[in-house]
Amino acid sequence: MRILILGGTRFLGRHLASLALARGHTLTLLHRGHSGPALFPQAEHRIADRNGALDVLARDTWDAAIDTSAYVPRHVRSVAAALNGRVGHYQLVSSISAYASLAQPGTAEDAPLAKLADPTVEAVTGETYGGLKALCEAEALHAFGPAGCCIVRPGLLVGPFDPTGRWTWWLQRIQRGGSVLAPGTPDAPVQFIDARDAAAWMLDQAERGSTGAYNLTGPAQPLTMGQFLAAACASLQPAARLQWVDEDFLLAAGVAPWSDLPVWLPRATQALHQTCIARALAAGLQCRPLAQTIADTAAWAAQAAPAATSAGASIGAGPPRPAVGLAPECEAALLAAWRQQAKAPDGGPEA
């Protein structure tokens, strides 16, 4: 097939590009040439900024386009106009953040989407990101038609080349060993997907011309925070000791869920980690063993430049991302205060 990826040189798109080439597809990548200009010499690169003219798309046809870099509806509109019908199938990477609410477990694809008070807004922030993705979806359906497009709503993407530093932070923290502050309770649900598994599934759908909307996260069977952290300890640092710290204590101490302690969500918002992935599973989603994602991500992070594994404000066109992870001295102070409060012996209650 002739496949066009709008993006393709950073994380999810990078895995998509790599796999598309491995499967023998003819690949075109559209990007600005900032993120990975030397990647994929076998592909054709068309250099353009999506915020400007897309004349570079004015020739050729593609069987499928996969859009990893649309953040405002104008991005989708301009690609549709530039392609002008010369693509068989369009796949938009949206997000589970596009839902109006993730307050209840089991959010499925027919749940209402977020609505922005001002739909003309273009600033991508933590507040507007989901509503803008919902508008991108509406634009895709309008421009390519329901029979010509597929909407993919990933949850937390993890694995090698993850530029956000979130999930990777836990692996690096556990590798340091000692008492590791584990937030909340070990039975809290968590969902995330190896971006390589997401890419494989997305490429399958592009090859089949699948339509409709799909939540895309994992694993196939429910996973808990305790199982995730225990697997990371087993794989990376068996001597690390998890010390579970009550969420009320952490919240009262000002610890920010998701950023200070990535992946962690307090009980009231844990349904974000319980979205329904039945449709994606029925369409063939396969998630590799957690231990493999842990080992591969740790190996990548060990040789990557520090900037590649720690988030900052400079992650392309997406919402600004705060730095993630507690500083070691902050974690130690919290653990000491928790032990004192819980009157636990040094080392505390462990799991």
Q: Which positions lie near ligand NAP, rule CB under 6 A?
A: 7-14, 31-35, 49-51, 68-69, 93, 95, 154, 156-157, 164, 316-318
The least CB distance from residue 219 to ligand NAP, in Å, is 15
The least CB distance from residue 8 to ligand NAP, in Å, is 5
The least CB distance from residue 266 to ligand NAP, in Å, is 19
Phi, psi of 78 (to 5 degrees): -70, -35
The least CB distance from residue 300 to ligand NAP, in Å, is 14
Q: Which is nearer to ligand NAP, 151 or 236 (CB)?
A: 151
Q: Which is nearer to ligand NAP, 31 or 196 (CB)?
A: 31
Nearest of 108, 249, 271, 256 to residue 188 by alpha carbon: 271
The least CB distance from residue 154 to ligand NAP, in Å, is 4
Q: Which is nearer to ligand NAP, 188 or 311 (CB)?
A: 311
Q: Which is nearer to ligand NAP, 192 or 244 (CB)?
A: 192
Please name the residue that has the structure tokens 């909407």. 151
The least CB distance from residue 342 to ligand NAP, in Å, is 33
The least CB distance from residue 198 to ligand NAP, in Å, is 9
Q: Which is nearer to ligand NAP, 67 or 260 (CB)?
A: 67
Which residue of this chain has its Cβ atom nearest to ligand NAP in the complex? 13
Query: Alpha carbon of 278 to those of 3, 111, 202, 215, 218: distances in Å?
Result: 27, 14, 15, 8, 10
The least CB distance from residue 175 to ligand NAP, in Å, is 22
